[in-house]
Amino acid sequence: MPFTIAIDGPAASGKGTIARALAAHFGFHHLDTGLLYRAVGAKGGDPVAAAQGLSADDLARGDLRSAAAGQAASRVAAIAEVRGALTDFQRRFAAQEPGAVLDGRDIGTVICPDAAVKLYVVADDRVRAARRAAELGADVDRMLAELRERDARDAGRAAAPLKPAADALVLDTTAMDIDAAVAEAVRIVRAALG
């Protein structure tokens, strides 16, 4: 049985960094599922067709990390047919031996409801905005407005809204640096591995 780790949470909560570090630590595969939605949004045209025809080249575009790509991703991610077109790929990815870490918004609730570990990573939105602004070299207030708009859309949509699974452990990284957050996540996974 492959070991699946589901990591969800709002934008810039630290979940991507934690997911990458866990995968490296335990030798698991890692999928940043936000990248799928960013690639669909960046492709333009009909988002459902874009999701159905998503290619490796689409995922390799250099402009997917921008704030604009994040907003476009959040918009197409509200379309149920777009989400449906990406579900099988994510579930096949999660089924790889010896295990996989997937991070996103609906991994613990919809994509991998039977994941062995579910983390819901949160942080104060001002702290998240400051982190993202430093990363992108952008203005903090503009980042804060952008994150709030995206979080509200992601949490308010009907299709697979952003929310913790009932059995998720909440990890608040507001007062943690990245090393402390990763150490805590490693401790939780190690305990689950037994």
Burial 70-93 (b: 16+ CB within 10 A, else e): bebbbbbbbbeebbebbeeebeeb
* Residue 125: closest CA among 10, 8, 7: 10
**99-104, strands of its sheet edge to edge:** 29-32, 99-104, 3-8, 117-122, 169-172
Q: Taking the complex as a whole, how short is the minimal distance between the CB of residue 154 and ligand DC, in angstroms?
A: 5
Residue entry with tokens 């070991």 = 3
Residue ranges that bind ligand DC, judged by CB under 6 A: 11, 33-34, 37-38, 70, 73-74, 77, 104-106, 150, 154
Answer yes or no: are the C-beta atoms of 31 and 37 closer than 8 Å.
no
**Residue 82 has which token pair?**
């777009």
Minimum CB distance to ligand DC smaller for 30 or for 105: 105
Q: Taking the complex as a whole, how short is the minimal distance between the CB of residue 69 and ligand DC, in angstroms?
A: 8
Q: Taking the complex as a whole, how short is the minimal distance between the CB of residue 21 and ligand DC, in angstroms?
A: 16
Minimum CB distance to ligand DC smaller for 27 or for 62: 62
Minimum CB distance to ligand DC smaller for 74 or for 173: 74
Q: Taking the complex as a whole, how short is the minimal distance between the CB of residue 34 and ligand DC, in angstroms?
A: 2
Minimum CB distance to ligand DC smaller for 26 or for 89: 89
